[in-house]
Every structure is written in structure tokens, then in C-alpha cells.
């Protein structure tokens, strides 16, 4: 059975039941971490993932349900995560809402959802976890987006929220150093959700990458694992994983 003394640490990944979050959980688990799989509504996927990981290594994965837009309860999410194995070493802010918001149709609810999931929730989770991460000389990884710097047409609120998360990453690196490292990963054309305009824009972006192909979730998961395990002198940085899209053409 896994114990705190026999593992590299404990990682909490938000939005981890599916897609890139699940790949990240698997990568960190394979690296020896015990993992906490946060989900909002994908309970079945979270349970299946935890079951698979616990079959590989007993008592190494747990699930926690929470709505990240419920700000007053975010400290409870972190506290619950710490009680799983008595510590927390890594926080990966992966959960994100993504949908278009065309000018003239943007509602305050759109703002609350997109800024809430992509910027507000990471801030308050970091604040709640800061003391524990400082104690353990841990690290934080925020999932940003290449469109923080190059806004995506039809997605102004999402793009602005991710730009805010880039700034938050750098601010938190200053605030929490030297004990805690804070970095971000900016994916390019990787597993976009289905949404109006998305497919055509996705194909156009792929055509403008230097590598002329879509990246994989494993590319992101490996980058996160690198920042967690092999980058002790990197903080306040955004690692772009986009196949050369931001080189221009």
C-alpha cells in the first residue's frame, strides 16, 4: 500500500476526469504520485479513472466532486484533498470552460462562467493551498492557452480570462517564491471541445503550425510532468506546446 513516505508527493488536478486532465493524472501517477481527481459532473469517468489507477497501485487515487464556481467552498476542496493522504504537493489548475461569446450577445453569466472557471477559481484554489504547498516546497501548474496572447475570434471573454491566468501565474510565482514554483502550460491545437466555429478554426490553426499536425494530450501531460519533476529552477514561466503555431507564417 502506498504511504506518504514512499511516494514523490500528492497531486490535485482539477477537471481531471476526462481529456487532458485525465492524461495529466495518468502521467503524474505513473511518475509515482498519489493523485486526487477533481470533477464537477463527470462522476462515472472520475470513478473509472480512479479504479484503473488503484488497480495499478493500491490506495493511490481518490476523487473529489466540486463546483469551482462555488467560491466560498473552494477552501473545503483543498482541505479535503489534503486529508486524503495528509499532504498536498502539486496543484494543477486544469479545469476550464470554453465556448464562444460573440459581441452583442455576451451576458454577465458568460463572464461569470468563463472568468470564474479560468481565472477566479485558480486564484482562490491557490490561495487555499498556499500554506500547505509552502510547507512542502510544492508547485502549481496553470493551464493557459496560446490565445491568451493571440485572442481567438468569437472567444473574447475566454481569451481575456486566459490572459489573466498568465498574469496570475507570474504574480503568484513572485508571491509564493522561494518555497513554491508556479508555472503554466499553453496548449495549441490539442483536443478542442465541440463548439460553433471551432472545427473550421481548429483546422486553420493546424495548417499554420510549423509541424502541420495536431498535438496530443500526452504532449501536455509530459510537459506538466517535466515542470513538476524536472524543473526545480523554473518558475513564473509559460511553456507553449503548440507545434510552432506562435512562430507565425
Catalytic residue list: 158
Q: How far apart are CA 70 and CA 62, in angstroms?
A: 21
Q: Which of 192, 182, 195, 200 is nearest to 141 (CA)?
A: 182
Q: How far apart are CA 35 and CA 87, in angstroms?
A: 11
Question: Helix, strand, or coil here: 109?
Answer: helix
Q: Which of 64, 181, 197, 65 is nearest to 133 (CA)?
A: 181
Q: How far apart are CA 64 and CA 208, in angstroms?
A: 39
Q: How far is CA 182 from CA 142, 145, 237, in A?
A: 8, 16, 8
Amino acid at each position: 500500500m502506498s504511504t506518504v513516505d514512499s511516494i514523490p508527493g500528492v497531486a490535485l488536478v482539477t477537471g481531471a476526469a476526462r481529456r487532458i486532465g485525465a492524461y495529466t493524472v495518468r502521467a503524474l501517477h505513473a511518475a509515482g504520485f498519489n493523485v486526487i481527481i477533481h470533477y464537477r459532473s463527470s462522476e462515472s469517468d472520475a470513478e473509472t479513472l480512479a479504479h484503473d489507477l488503484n488497480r495499478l497501485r493500491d490506495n493511490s487515487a481518490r476523487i473529489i466532486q466540486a463546483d469551482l464556481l462555488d467560491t466560498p467552498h473552494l477552501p473545503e476542496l483543498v482541505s479535503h484533498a489534503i486529508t486524503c493522504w495528509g499532504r498536498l504537493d502539486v496543484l494543477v489548475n486544469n479545469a476550464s470552460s470554453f465556448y464562444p461569446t460573440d459581441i452583442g450577445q455576451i451576458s454577465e453569466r458568460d463572464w461569470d462562467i468563463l472568468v470564474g472557471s479560468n481565472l477566479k477559481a485558480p486564484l482562490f484554489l491557490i490561495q487555499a493551498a498556499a500554506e500547505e504547498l509552502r510547507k512542502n516546497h510544492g508547485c502549481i501548474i496553470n493551464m493557459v492557452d496560446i490565445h491568451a496572447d493571440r485572442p481567438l475570434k468569437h472567444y473574447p471573454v475566454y481569451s481575456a480570462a486566459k490572459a489573466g491566468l498568465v498574469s496570475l501565474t507570474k504574480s503568484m510565482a513572485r508571491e509564493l517564491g522561494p518555497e513554491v514554483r508556479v508555472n503554466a502550460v499553453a496548449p495549441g491545437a490539442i483536443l478542442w471541445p465541440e463548439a460553433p466555429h471551432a472545427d473550421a478554426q481548429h483546422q486553420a490553426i493546424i495548417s499554420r503550425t510549423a509541424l502541420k499536425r495536431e498535438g496530443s494530450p500526452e504532449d501536455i501531460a509530459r510537459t506538466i510532468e517535466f515542470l513538476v519533476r524536472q524543473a526545480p529552477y523554473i518558475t513564473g514561466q509559460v511553456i507553449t506546446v503548440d507545434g510552432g503555431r506562435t512562430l507565425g507564417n
